[in-house]
Amino acid sequence: MLHRKFAMMLVAWAAALFGGAAGAADKPMPPEVARAWSATGLPSSALSMVIEEVQGDRLAAVNGAEFKNPASVMKLVTTWAALSELGPDYVWQTAFLIDNNATVSDDGVLSGPVYLRPTGDPVIMLEDLWRLMRELRLRGIRQINDIVVDRSPFGEVAIDPAEFDGKGDRPYNASPDVFMVGFGAVRLVFTPDLQAKRWRAFVDPPIPGIEIDSDIKYQDGSCRRGPRVSVQTVNGADDVRFRVSGEAHGACGEFDFYRLAFDQQAFAARTLKTMWRELGGTMTGTVKDGSIPADAVPLAAHQSPPLAEVIRLVNKRSNNVMTRVLLLTLGAQAGQRPATVAGSAEVVKRILTAQGIELGQTVIENGSGLSRNARISADVMADMLQHAWRSPAMPEYVSSMAILGVDGTLKRRLRGDDARGYANMKTGALKDARAIAGYVLSKSGKRYVFVSLVNHPQAYKARDFENAVMAWLNDR
C-alpha cells in the first residue's frame, strides 16, 4: 500500500512539475509529418502536437506538454465533461406554470401571473417557444398579466458581446442566459420583388424596436455570385436600426443574415410578447424576473433534444453560446446554484480529474474557446481523447465531431481526397491560434488520436499541415 501511495505521489509530482500528462514524452516527427510542418515556415516552438494510436503507441509528439490557446477545440473538453457527467440522454425542460388557485374566466382571462421556469436549454428555438405558448391558448387562456421568469439556476453570467473583438452584433459573441431563445439573434431577411426589381426586407421574429434601412441594389441577369452586402448596426436607447447596403442578383433568390439586436433578457421578453400577440392573446402586464411558488401548477412544458444531439450542434457547428450555457448547466447540476462561469469551470476540472486526466495548467475560462486566456496542452487533450475512447459514451462523443470532407467545419477539407470521411475532428481558429483534435481512421483499420495546437501570428499557415497529417494517417 505504501509503495502504491508513493507511486501516485510521483505521478502527481511529475504532472505538477511538467504541466502535462504524467509519463508523456516528445517523439520526433516521421519524415512525412516533418516535411509538412517545414512547409508552413513556422517555428517548432509554435506547435504543441501529439499523434498516437488509439489505445496504442505514440507516433510523434512535439512540445506535447506545452500549454497553448486551443481556440474552439476547447469545446471538446466542455462537451466531454457534460456527456460523461450528465449522460447522452440528459434533457433540459422549459415549463409554464400558474398559481395552484388560479382560474380562467369564461372569456379566457387568467387570474394571477404565468410563471416561466427555464433550466438553461441551449437550443430552444423560436418554433419551440411558439409551440409551448400555443399550449396556453389551447387551454383556453386568452389574456395574461405578468410573465414571471425564474432565472435562479444561473447567476449574473451576462457578458458584453462587443468585449472580445468589438463585433457586438455577431451571433458568435452572444451572451449566455438561462432562458436563451434562438441564440438571442434576429434574422434579417431579404427577398426579391421580381416585378418591381427591388429587394424587400423583414425581421424574424417581428419584434418591436427593430428597423431595417435597406439600400441593396437589385441586379438583373443570371445568378453569377452571391450577394455583396454589408450590415451596419446602430443601437438607440430602446431600439436598433440595421443599415444594409450593397448589391445582389434577383435571380439568386432570398438571402438572410443573423445579428444580435438586444441583450438576451430583453430579446426573450420582446419575443414572448410578440408571439403571444401573434397567437391571438393579449397581455396586460410585463415580463419580469421573480421566483415561482413551491405549489405552482405546471401547465405546459417543452423538452430539449437529448444531450447527445445537442453536442453535435456544438462541435460540428462550433457554437460558442451553446457551449457557454452547457458549461453553466454543469455548474448548476453540480449544486452550484446560481451557477457562475468560474465555478462551472472548476466543476469541469473536477470531473476530468476524477477520470484520471492530469490537467496541469489547463485554463478553461468560458468553455467555448472564444478566449484569449484559455490554455491546454496536446498531451492533456490526447489523454482526454484516449479516455473518451474507452468510455461507453464514446460513439456519441465521436459522432459529435465534424466528419472530414463531409460536414461541419471540415466540410470543405480534403473533399476530393481518399481521406474523405475518415476523420472525426474539432477545429478551432482565432487571430493567433489554430487547432485541430480528434480521431483519424486509417485504411488499414487502425485509428489514431491527432492533436495540433499552433499559436503564432501566422497560425493560419498550419491548415495545410493539418490536412497533410490527416491524409498521412489515413494512408497508414
| Mean pLDDT calculated for residue range 377-386 | 98
Alpha carbon distance 343, 327 (integer Å) = 10
Mean pLDDT computed over every residue of the chain? 94
Q: Place 417 in a pLDDT band, splitting at 50, 70 and 90.
A: confident
pLDDT of residue 418: 87
pLDDT of residue 253: 96
* CA angle centred on 444, ends 28 and 378, rounded to 5°: 35
What are residue 135's phi and psi, to 5 degrees? -60, -35
Alpha carbon distance 415, 421 (integer Å) = 9
| Mean pLDDT calculated for residue range 372-394 | 98
Alpha carbon distance 235, 191 (integer Å) = 24
pLDDT of residue 461: 97
| CATH 3.50.80.20 applies to domain 92-304 | yes
pLDDT of residue 1: 39
pLDDT of residue 17: 36
According to CATH, what is the number of the domain 2-89+307-475? 3.40.710.10
Alpha carbon distance 351, 3 (integer Å) = 27
Long-range contacts of 391-396 (CB under 8 A, 24+ apart): 391/84, 393/83, 393/84, 393/87, 393/88, 396/83, 396/88, 396/308, 396/311
Percent of the chain with pLDDT over 70: 95
Dump pLDDT digits (tens) for 386-403: 999 999 999 999 999 999
Asked if residue 216 has pLDDT above 50, the reply is yes
pTM value is 0.92
Residues of CATH 3.50.80.20 domain(s) within the chain?
92-304
Residues of CATH 3.40.710.10 domain(s) within the chain?
2-89+307-475
| Mean pLDDT calculated for residue range 89-114 | 97
